A = this chain, B = another copy of it.
Amino acid sequence: MKSRRKFIKKVALVSATTSMPMVLMANQAVEDKMIHQVFFWLNEGEDVENFMREASVLGKCPTVAKFFIGQPAPTEARDVVDHSYQVACTLFFKSLEDQSAYQVEPKHLEFIERNSAKWNKVKVYDFMI
């Protein structure tokens, strides 16, 4: 019951301040506040599967609430769709502070040190949900 009460409180708060439909909030995990979305463009010939194994350590960083890793989907080629990266990581955090802590987390820094020579471009989008 405790989490149910927390959920109702959150919906009421959000509805009162932004008029966002409740159905939208109901689809969102109440505890997650932001998404840190990262795309990697690897050097030609780089072993993508090995890189994904290396990147999977990011999901084990203590403040990461949810972690998804993937590769471009074979969806329709359209001007607006970018399929040119090799690996995507989607990280959910419970707060901005948790994301800041992740940026200096030793496992994260070690991943960068071990693998940064493998990519030629990284793009990041951070947004509150």
Contacts and interface: CB of A to CB of B under 8 A. Distances in A.
A7 to B, nearest CB: 16
Contacts of A4: none
Identical copies in the complex: 2
Interface in A44-77: 49, 52-53, 56, 59-60, 66-76
B18 A88 contact: no
Contact of A70 (B99, B123, B129): B129
Nearest to A32: B68
A88 to B, nearest CB: 4
A96 B67 contact: no
A115 interface: no
Contacts of A49: 18-19
Given A37-B90, A68-B129, 15 more contacts: A20-B52, A21-B56, A23-B60, A24-B56, A27-B66, A35-B90, A36-B75, A70-B127, A70-B128, A70-B129, A71-B127, A71-B128, A75-B99, A80-B122, A90-B129
